[in-house]
Amino acid sequence: MAVSVASIPRPRRSRAPLLSNARTIVFIALRQLWDRKLLNGIAVGGVTLGVLVLIAMNGIMQGFQIKFTSAILKISPHVIVFDNELRPEPPLLARYFGGPVAARVAHESPSNRQARIKRPTEIVRALATMPEVEAAAASLQGMVLVEFGGKTKSLDLRGVDVAAQDKVTPIEQFVKHGRFATLAITTDGIAVGSGVADDLGLHVGDVVHAAAPGGTPLDLKVVAIFEAEIPPVDKVRAYASLRTLQILVGKPDIVGRIEIKLRDTEVAPAVAERVERAFGYDAESWQETNANFLGIFAMQNMIVKFVVGAILLVGGFGILAIQIMIVLQKQRDISILRSVGLRRADILRIFLLQGLIIATIGGLLGDGLGKVAIHFLSQLKVKSEGLVKSDTFLIYEDPKFYLYGFCFAILVGTIAALIPAWRGSKVEPVDVLRGQIG
């Protein structure tokens, strides 16, 4: 009777030898790590330090940057439309002839026409229909000299429509004394930053004398004092009604800017470009306005990445050096293991497992100590009044930092263990026994 070869069941490979071999590899790897506790502890310390520095430095840098950005976006508009026309009207001679003309101008007299945004109400209404725009408000900006009690100070005074402006930049939530809404019902009110109030010794109810070139001097009553916790803003900025500032700077019925608040702040550059094309006025996104600060932040982040990467690489070289030392010292042991049946792949796995264990322990310890460091730094009292006002370290704790630190530690530890693992797997028992190696 013929029997088909395909019908004969093939013998299954037993899983017991595979499990036994895996247990042997793990046992040998752990035993060698324990025999070199001090050296391997140093390698773990290098990885731990790298992960700790990564978490702590990123927490500090991101905390400061996020605090500054969030504060700026609350007190400042996301897009500003200025009175600078991108497509100005052609000269009078060109309009008369109906086309381009050539003329020699010996000395062009400056125009006495005041720059303004034409039909601001219509532009604000049109901006409100854009899906990206949450609110828009017309305003005017001017530099004003304020005098009180024998002291004088130059202010960046903003003339605003209070109801519309509060939808774009909610100043009311930063008011410490008085009420910002009072500006809407008074023609001689002014709201000043806390830094201005401290410099001049102002309180709510005080009357200051304000003047600007080409305008009419006015006596203004302090109705509110706000604090945005951004010293460059608090020390120079003030608000008044639009009509008050127009009289003060001698620009009746003139609107010099339109401020826009967006639903998504990241689309500000695209919206600014679209506004320029639609209305023909220069528009500036908040990223462009704060380009200097954002550039500094980007450079800081790059420096932090270099420093943390260098520390983690040093930890990786520690693993590499220690593993190479173990391979050199364990040449005879490796040859014996090869002689009793372990393959090159098994030797490779032993040393790779050792590097992975060192990196895992270092990564976990680094994450734990990083958590402690973040908590300690967030409680540390440090008075800061630079770009952002704060009484403690500005810390931002992101779970992704812990994951990045651990994954980077595993990557560095595994790569660092590759060279000694490969070298150990190449050891031949015969060469060791003959005395050619070790």
* pLDDT 10s digits, 315-374: 777 777 776 776 666 666 667 666 666 777 777 787 788 888 888 888 899 899 989 988
Is the model's pLDDT at 226 over the cut of 70?
Answer: yes
Query: What's the confidence (pLDDT) of residue 147?
Result: 93
Cβ within 8 Å of residue 176, ≥6 positions away: 194, 225, 226, 227
- Cα distance between residue 9 and residue 346, in whole Å: 30
Q: How many residues does the chain have?
A: 438
- Cα distance between residue 50 and residue 376, in whole Å: 18
Residue with tokens 């991108």: 86
Is the model's pLDDT at 61 over the cut of 90?
Answer: no
Cβ within 8 Å of residue 221, ≥6 positions away: 186, 188, 189, 190, 205, 206, 207
pLDDT confidence bin for 8, thresholds 50/70/90: very low
Helices (H), strands (E): how many in the chain? 15, 12
- Cα distance between residue 284 and residue 79, in whole Å: 6
The amino acid at residue 63 is G
pLDDT tens string 199-219: 999 999 999 999 998 888 999
Best CA proximity match to 76, nearest among 222, 290, 314 = 290
pLDDT confidence bin for 149, thresholds 50/70/90: confident
pLDDT tens string 118-141: 888 999 999 989 999 999 999 999
The amino acid at residue 33 is L
Query: What's the confidence (pLDDT) of residue 203?
Result: 93
Query: What's the confidence (pLDDT) of residue 192?
Result: 94
Query: What's the confidence (pLDDT) of residue 393?
Result: 73
CB 261 within 8 A of CB 136: yes
User: Which comes out higher in pLDDT, residue 249 or 438?
Assistant: 249
- Cα distance between residue 431 and residue 354, in whole Å: 25
- Cα distance between residue 228 and residue 436, in whole Å: 75
- Cα distance between residue 242 and residue 246, in whole Å: 6
Structure tokens at 422: 């490969």
What burial class does residue 12 get, using C-beta atoms within 10 Å of its C-beta: 0-12 exposed, 13-18 middle, 19+ buried?
exposed
Structure tokens at 222: 């302090």
User: Which comes out higher in pLDDT, residue 354 or 152?
Assistant: 152
Query: What's the confidence (pLDDT) of residue 107?
Result: 55
Backbone angles phi, psi at 259, to 5 degrees: -100, 140
Residue with tokens 């595994």: 414
Q: Among the listed ranges 22-36, 69-83, 212-226, 394-408, which one has the minimum average pLDDT value?
A: 22-36
- Arithmetic mean of pLDDT, 368-396: 77
Is the model's pLDDT at 1 over the cut of 50?
Answer: no
User: Which comes out higher in pLDDT, residue 8 or 213?
Assistant: 213
Query: What's the confidence (pLDDT) of residue 200?
Result: 92
Query: What's the confidence (pLDDT) of residue 303?
Result: 83
Query: What's the confidence (pLDDT) of residue 193?
Result: 92
Residue 221 β-bridge partners: 189, 207
**DSSP code of residue 173:** G
% of the chain surpassing 90 pLDDT: 25
Best CA proximity match to 208, nearest among 195, 192, 193, 228 = 192
pLDDT confidence bin for 48, thresholds 50/70/90: confident
CB 354 within 8 A of CB 33: yes
- Cα distance between residue 50 and residue 358, in whole Å: 13
Phi-psi group of 75: left, alpha or beta (phi > 0 → left; psi -120 to 50 → alpha; rest → beta): alpha
- Cα distance between residue 213 and residue 202, in whole Å: 24
pLDDT confidence bin for 96, thresholds 50/70/90: low
Q: Are strands 189-193 and 257-262 parallel, antiparallel or unpaired?
A: unpaired
- Cα distance between residue 316 and residue 409, in whole Å: 8
Query: What's the confidence (pLDDT) of residue 258?
Result: 92
Is the model's pLDDT at 18 over the cut of 50?
Answer: no
Render 54-80 in DSSP notation, one character per residue.
Answer: HHHHHHHHHHHHHHHHHHHHHHS-SEE
- Cα distance between residue 159 and residue 137, in whole Å: 11
Q: CA torsion sign, 306 to 309 to 313 to 315? A: positive
Helices (H), 330-435: 331-339, 344-379, 399-425, 429-433
Residue 423 β-bridge partners: none
Element at 221 (helix H, strand E): strand 218-226
The amino acid at residue 325 is M
Q: Are strands 133-148 and 257-262 parallel, antiparallel or unpaired?
A: antiparallel
Angle between helices 399-425 and 344-379 (to 10 degrees): 150
Within a 10 A sphere around the Cβ of 280, how many other Cβ atoms? 13
Query: What's the confidence (pLDDT) of residue 135?
Result: 92
pLDDT confidence bin for 248, thresholds 50/70/90: very high
User: Which comes out higher in pLDDT, residue 436 or 145?
Assistant: 145
Residue with tokens 């190696």: 437
pLDDT tens string 256-278: 899 999 999 889 999 999 999 88
Element at 80 (helix H, strand E): strand 79-85
Structure tokens at 104: 């020699």
**DSSP code of residue 252:** T
Average pLDDT, the chain: 80
Query: What's the confidence (pLDDT) of residue 111?
Result: 54
Is the model's pLDDT at 160 over the cut of 80?
Answer: yes
- Cα distance between residue 168 and residue 157, in whole Å: 17
pLDDT tens string 292-319: 888 888 888 888 778 777 777 777 777 7
pLDDT confidence bin for 102, thresholds 50/70/90: low
Query: What's the confidence (pLDDT) of residue 16?
Result: 46
Q: Among the listed ranges 7-16, 175-184, 190-199, which one has the minimum average pLDDT value?
A: 7-16
